[in-house]
Amino acid sequence: MIEYKNRELWTYFFTKPRSYYNKYMYEMVNYPDYLIFDREEIENNKSKWNEVYDNKNTDIYLEIGSGSGNFSIELAKRNPNVNLLCDELRLKRLVYSARKAKKEDLKNIKYIKYDANNLTDFLSENEISGLYINFPDPWTGQEHKRMLGEKLLENLDVVLKKNGKIFFKTDHDNYYESVVELINKSDKYEIVVKTDDLYSNEKLLENNIQTEFEHLFIHKLKIKIKYIEIIKL
């Protein structure tokens, strides 16, 4: 049995003991500078995230569903003056991300394992300057479960600074249209950029960082990438 902070490790990830665990569970403890999976620790950092990073940066950008980390690692390298907080649920993807961050010796990136539906449990008022959501699950047939919806906007009313931005990419036509509709009917947010074909817009593409899913959609599935940039008023 492996313990972490006087508790059996599995209790951080599973509700019942098992005879076989996800092998990435054991690797989670190897990246204390990059990976936080203890729920209590994550919640205790609320309102003081900047103190957790080994730098003097003041702006924090959140990424929800950061996958295996290609996007966040490149973003952190391009923007050493901002701190990135990346939220993901899957252990394998978190471990892959932390491995990459450690290899690059990045000081401005942290990964957390937390349900992003409950942002206000670990972020306080105006704590973030921006939010990235890349290719969230489209939940076809169960659209109420989509990450970018009314509930997220309500949470962002609290945690996102005024003039803070939301950057959203999707492969999914209906998700794209529903977000356009959602923002158009809101008086608190405004769309500043939108395209239903990111790769036909050279200027936007210049700053684009390709995610793992984006790579798959473009090269294998040949699906057009939709992009929206939203500002909080």
Residues that bind ligand SAM (CB under 6 A): 64-67, 87-90, 93, 115-117, 134-137, 211-214
Separation between Cα atoms, residue 28 and residue 98, nearest integer Å: 9
Q: Strand, coil or helix: what is 35?
A: strand
143 annotated to a ligand binding site: no
177 annotated to a ligand binding site: no
11 annotated to a ligand binding site: no
Q: Following CA atoms 196, 138, 97, 156 in sequence, which dihedral angle do they give, to the nearest 10 degrees?
A: 80
Catalytic site residue 38?
Answer: no
Which has the closest alpha carbon to 63: 166, 180, 140, 146?
A: 166
The nearest distance, CB 142 to ligand SAM, in angstroms, is 13
Separation between Cα atoms, residue 233 and residue 190, nearest integer Å: 7
- Give Cβ neighbours of residue 177 (< 8 Å, ≥ 6 apart): none
Helices (H) and strands (E) in the chain, counts: 9, 10
Closer residue to ligand SAM (CB): 45 or 66: 66
Q: Which residues, listed in sequence order, are joined to residue 122 by a DSSP beta bridge? A: none
104 annotated to a ligand binding site: no
Separation between Cα atoms, residue 66 and residue 93, nearest integer Å: 8
58 annotated to a ligand binding site: no
Q: b or e along 103-142 (b: 16 or more beta carbons within 10 Å of the residue's beta carbon)? A: eeebebbbbbbbebeebeebbeeebbbbbbbbbbebeeee
The nearest distance, CB 132 to ligand SAM, in angstroms, is 8
The nearest distance, CB 163 to ligand SAM, in angstroms, is 24
The nearest distance, CB 175 to ligand SAM, in angstroms, is 11
Q: Strand, coil or helix: what is 212?
A: helix
Amino acid at 76: A
The nearest distance, CB 23 to ligand SAM, in angstroms, is 17
Closer residue to ligand SAM (CB): 3 or 41: 41
Which of 121, 137, 173, 197 is an active site residue? 137
211 annotated to a ligand binding site: yes
List binding-site positions for substrate: 171, 211-214
Catalytic center residues: 137
List binding-site positions for S-adenosyl-L-methionine: 63, 88, 115, 137
